[in-house]
Protein backbone atom coordinates (compact mmCIF):
# COMPACT_ATOMS: atom_id res chain seq x y z
CA UNK A 1 0.00 0.00 0.00
CA UNK A 2 1.37 3.41 -0.93
CA UNK A 3 1.56 6.29 1.55
CA UNK A 4 -1.33 7.99 -0.23
CA UNK A 5 -3.51 4.86 -0.10
CA UNK A 6 -2.63 4.39 3.56
CA UNK A 7 -3.62 7.97 4.40
CA UNK A 8 -6.86 7.59 2.46
CA UNK A 9 -7.70 4.30 4.19
CA UNK A 10 -7.30 6.01 7.58
CA UNK A 11 -9.17 9.18 6.60
CA UNK A 12 -12.22 7.54 4.99
CA UNK A 13 -13.66 6.05 8.24
CA UNK A 14 -13.36 9.44 9.96
CA UNK A 15 -15.07 11.15 7.03
CA UNK A 16 -17.83 8.55 6.97
CA UNK A 17 -18.37 8.93 10.73
CA UNK A 18 -18.66 12.71 10.50
CA UNK A 19 -20.85 12.34 7.41
CA UNK A 20 -23.05 9.90 9.29
CA UNK A 21 -23.46 12.32 12.17
CA UNK A 22 -24.39 15.10 9.76
CA UNK A 23 -26.84 12.79 8.01
CA UNK A 24 -28.42 11.70 11.29
CA UNK A 25 -28.97 15.31 12.28
CA UNK A 26 -30.55 16.17 8.95
CA UNK A 27 -32.83 13.15 8.80
CA UNK A 28 -33.83 13.53 12.46
CA UNK A 29 -34.96 17.06 11.75
CA UNK A 30 -36.95 15.94 8.71
CA UNK A 31 -38.81 13.02 10.30
CA UNK A 32 -41.22 12.63 13.16
CA UNK A 33 -39.76 10.93 16.21
CA UNK A 34 -43.03 9.19 17.10
CA UNK A 35 -41.99 5.69 16.03
CA UNK A 36 -39.49 3.43 17.75
CA UNK A 37 -36.11 3.39 16.00
CA UNK A 38 -35.19 0.15 14.28
CA UNK A 39 -32.52 -1.92 15.98
CA UNK A 40 -29.86 -4.13 14.40
CA UNK A 41 -30.21 -7.86 14.93
CA UNK A 42 -27.91 -10.73 14.08
CA UNK A 43 -26.33 -10.21 10.65
CA UNK A 44 -27.89 -11.84 7.61
CA UNK A 45 -26.46 -15.27 6.85
CA UNK A 46 -25.57 -16.66 3.44
CA UNK A 47 -28.70 -18.81 3.18
CA UNK A 48 -30.94 -15.80 3.88
CA UNK A 49 -28.95 -13.65 1.45
CA UNK A 50 -29.36 -16.27 -1.28
CA UNK A 51 -33.12 -16.34 -0.70
CA UNK A 52 -33.35 -12.55 -0.95
CA UNK A 53 -31.16 -12.31 -4.05
CA UNK A 54 -33.03 -15.15 -5.76
CA UNK A 55 -36.38 -13.38 -5.30
CA UNK A 56 -34.89 -10.10 -6.54
CA UNK A 57 -33.42 -11.78 -9.61
CA UNK A 58 -36.77 -13.43 -10.37
CA UNK A 59 -38.48 -10.00 -10.32
CA UNK A 60 -35.78 -8.51 -12.56
CA UNK A 61 -35.98 -11.38 -15.06
CA UNK A 62 -39.80 -11.27 -15.09
CA UNK A 63 -39.54 -7.67 -16.28
CA UNK A 64 -36.51 -8.18 -18.56
CA UNK A 65 -34.43 -5.75 -16.49
CA UNK A 66 -30.67 -6.14 -16.33
CA UNK A 67 -29.68 -5.62 -12.69
CA UNK A 68 -26.79 -5.72 -10.26
CA UNK A 69 -27.89 -6.88 -6.80
CA UNK A 70 -25.88 -6.53 -3.59
CA UNK A 71 -26.64 -7.83 -0.11
CA UNK A 72 -24.81 -6.38 2.91
CA UNK A 73 -24.84 -7.40 6.56
CA UNK A 74 -25.52 -5.19 9.58
CA UNK A 75 -21.97 -3.85 9.39
CA UNK A 76 -22.44 -2.76 5.77
CA UNK A 77 -20.13 -5.55 4.58
CA UNK A 78 -20.85 -7.30 1.30
CA UNK A 79 -22.33 -10.77 1.87
CA UNK A 80 -23.50 -11.65 -1.64
CA UNK A 81 -23.45 -9.98 -5.03
CA UNK A 82 -24.79 -11.02 -8.41
CA UNK A 83 -25.01 -9.23 -11.73
CA UNK A 84 -27.30 -10.45 -14.47
CA UNK A 85 -25.51 -10.95 -17.78
CA UNK A 86 -25.40 -7.75 -19.79
CA UNK A 87 -25.89 -5.39 -16.83
CA UNK A 88 -23.92 -2.17 -17.15
CA UNK A 89 -20.69 -2.17 -15.17
CA UNK A 90 -21.50 1.12 -13.41
CA UNK A 91 -24.40 -0.58 -11.61
CA UNK A 92 -22.04 -2.79 -9.60
CA UNK A 93 -20.82 -0.07 -7.24
CA UNK A 94 -24.16 1.74 -7.22
CA UNK A 95 -25.98 -1.41 -6.03
CA UNK A 96 -23.46 -1.87 -3.22
CA UNK A 97 -23.73 1.80 -2.19
CA UNK A 98 -27.53 1.67 -2.13
CA UNK A 99 -27.41 -1.35 0.19
CA UNK A 100 -24.83 0.27 2.47
CA UNK A 101 -26.82 3.52 2.55
CA UNK A 102 -30.03 1.75 3.58
CA UNK A 103 -28.26 -0.34 6.21
CA UNK A 104 -26.10 2.35 7.74
CA UNK A 105 -28.89 4.91 8.02
CA UNK A 106 -31.66 2.44 8.95
CA UNK A 107 -34.01 3.50 6.19
CA UNK A 108 -34.61 2.93 2.47
CA UNK A 109 -32.20 4.88 0.29
CA UNK A 110 -35.23 6.49 -1.35
CA UNK A 111 -35.74 8.58 1.82
CA UNK A 112 -32.50 10.42 1.04
CA UNK A 113 -33.66 10.99 -2.53
CA UNK A 114 -36.91 12.46 -1.21
CA UNK A 115 -35.09 14.69 1.30
CA UNK A 116 -32.93 16.13 -1.46
CA UNK A 117 -35.92 16.58 -3.78
CA UNK A 118 -37.72 18.52 -1.02
CA UNK A 119 -34.87 21.03 -0.96
CA UNK A 120 -34.09 23.17 2.04
CA UNK A 121 -32.14 21.41 4.74
CA UNK A 122 -32.31 18.16 2.74
CA UNK A 123 -29.86 19.61 0.24
CA UNK A 124 -27.13 19.21 2.87
CA UNK A 125 -27.17 15.49 2.05
CA UNK A 126 -25.32 16.35 -1.15
CA UNK A 127 -22.24 17.10 0.97
CA UNK A 128 -22.03 13.56 2.36
CA UNK A 129 -19.62 11.27 0.55
CA UNK A 130 -20.23 7.56 0.17
CA UNK A 131 -24.02 7.50 0.12
CA UNK A 132 -26.45 6.74 -2.66
CA UNK A 133 -29.51 8.99 -2.41
CA UNK A 134 -31.39 6.94 -4.99
CA UNK A 135 -34.27 4.49 -4.74
CA UNK A 136 -33.16 0.85 -4.77
CA UNK A 137 -31.68 0.32 -1.29
CA UNK A 138 -34.00 -1.45 1.14
CA UNK A 139 -33.60 -2.80 4.66
CA UNK A 140 -33.81 -6.53 5.22
CA UNK A 141 -35.78 -7.12 8.42
CA UNK A 142 -36.29 -10.28 10.42
CA UNK A 143 -38.43 -10.29 13.56
CA UNK A 144 -38.56 -6.48 13.40
CA UNK A 145 -34.77 -6.06 13.43
CA UNK A 146 -32.36 -5.05 10.69
CA UNK A 147 -30.24 -8.00 9.54
CA UNK A 148 -28.80 -6.25 6.48
CA UNK A 149 -29.87 -4.52 3.31
CA UNK A 150 -30.24 -5.05 -0.42
CA UNK A 151 -29.15 -2.64 -3.10
CA UNK A 152 -30.26 -2.88 -6.72
CA UNK A 153 -29.11 -0.92 -9.76
CA UNK A 154 -29.46 -1.26 -13.49
CA UNK A 155 -32.75 0.27 -14.55
CA UNK A 156 -34.71 3.34 -13.47
CA UNK A 157 -34.60 3.95 -9.72
CA UNK A 158 -38.30 3.09 -9.35
CA UNK A 159 -37.64 -0.26 -11.03
CA UNK A 160 -34.56 -0.82 -8.87
CA UNK A 161 -36.75 -0.25 -5.81
CA UNK A 162 -39.38 -2.67 -7.07
CA UNK A 163 -36.76 -5.40 -7.46
CA UNK A 164 -35.23 -4.64 -4.04
CA UNK A 165 -38.62 -4.87 -2.33
CA UNK A 166 -39.34 -8.16 -4.10
CA UNK A 167 -36.10 -9.46 -2.61
CA UNK A 168 -36.90 -8.35 0.93
CA UNK A 169 -40.36 -9.91 0.70
CA UNK A 170 -38.73 -13.33 0.35
CA UNK A 171 -37.90 -13.44 4.07
CA UNK A 172 -41.40 -12.37 5.09
CA UNK A 173 -42.98 -15.48 3.57
Q: Is the pLDDT of residue 28 over 70?
A: no
Higher-confidence position of 31 and 149: 149
Mean pLDDT of the chain: 87
List of residues 6+ apart from 164 with CB closer than 8 A: 56, 98, 136, 137, 138, 150, 151, 152
Task: Tell which CATH classification among 3.90.25.10, 3.30.450.20, 3.40.190.10, 3.30.450.150 matches the domain 40-170.
Answer: 3.30.450.150
Model's pTM, two decimal places?
0.81
Is the model more confident about 173 or about 167?
167
Q: Rounded distance, CA 101 to CA 112, Å?
A: 9
Question: Which tens digit of pLDDT belongs to each residue from 90-99?
Answer: 999 999 999 9
Beta carbons of 78 and 70 less than 8 angstroms apart = yes
Query: pLDDT confidence of 134, banded at 50, 70, 90?
Result: very high
**Alpha helix locations (H) across the chain?**
3-30, 46-62, 90-105, 110-118, 157-169
Looking at residue 172, its pLDDT comes to 87
Which range is least confidently modeled, 16-20, 41-45, 123-127?
Answer: 16-20
Question: What average pLDDT does the segment 159-169 reach?
Answer: 98
Amino acid sequence: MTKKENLVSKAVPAILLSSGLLFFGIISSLESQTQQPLMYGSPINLEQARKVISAAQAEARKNNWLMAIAIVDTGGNLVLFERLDGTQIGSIEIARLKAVTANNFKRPSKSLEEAIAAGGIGLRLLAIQGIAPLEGGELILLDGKIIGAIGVSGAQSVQDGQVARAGTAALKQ
